[in-house]
Amino acid sequence: MNVGLLETLKNEKKRRARRKKLNLVSEEDNRAQLFHSSRVRATLTYKAEKEAIVTAEKAEKEAKKAQATKNKKRKEEEAQEKAL
């Protein structure tokens, strides 16, 4: 796969993530909203923690996938040795 394409897609995803609203009120509102800086920081912290959890879950899933591939390869080698 094209490495440049993957990098461009990752950059685009990051760029779009910056545009998302924090939605501090949990409702749609088109008017100007003013919030205390501590509330904004708390929301940003929550968002970062949530993203960290998702990233950790993806890493764990990839590790399990790699381990399963490794186990499959080992079992195939053992089966070949028994066949000889």
Q: Which residues of 37-63 are buried (b: 16+ CB within 10 A; e: fewer)?
A: eeeeeeeeeeeeeeeeeeeeeeeeeee
- Report pLDDT digits (tens) over 19-37: 666 666 665 656 666 778 8
pLDDT one digit per residue (tens) for the chain, 84 residues: 688 888 888 888 888 766 666 666 665 656 666 778 888 888 888 888 999 999 999 999 999 999 999 999 999 999 998 887
pLDDT at 76: 93
Q: Is residue 49 part of a domain?
A: yes
Residue 53: C-alpha distances to residues 2, 36, 45 (Å): 28, 26, 12
Q: Is residue 71 part of a domain?
A: yes
- Token pair 């381990």 is found at 67
pTM for the whole thing?
A: 0.53
* Domain count along the chain: 1
Q: Is residue 34 part of a domain?
A: no
Q: Is residue 84 part of a domain?
A: yes
Tell me the torsion sign for CA atoms 33, 36, 39, 45: positive
Q: Is residue 79 part of a domain?
A: yes
Q: Is residue 3 part of a domain?
A: no
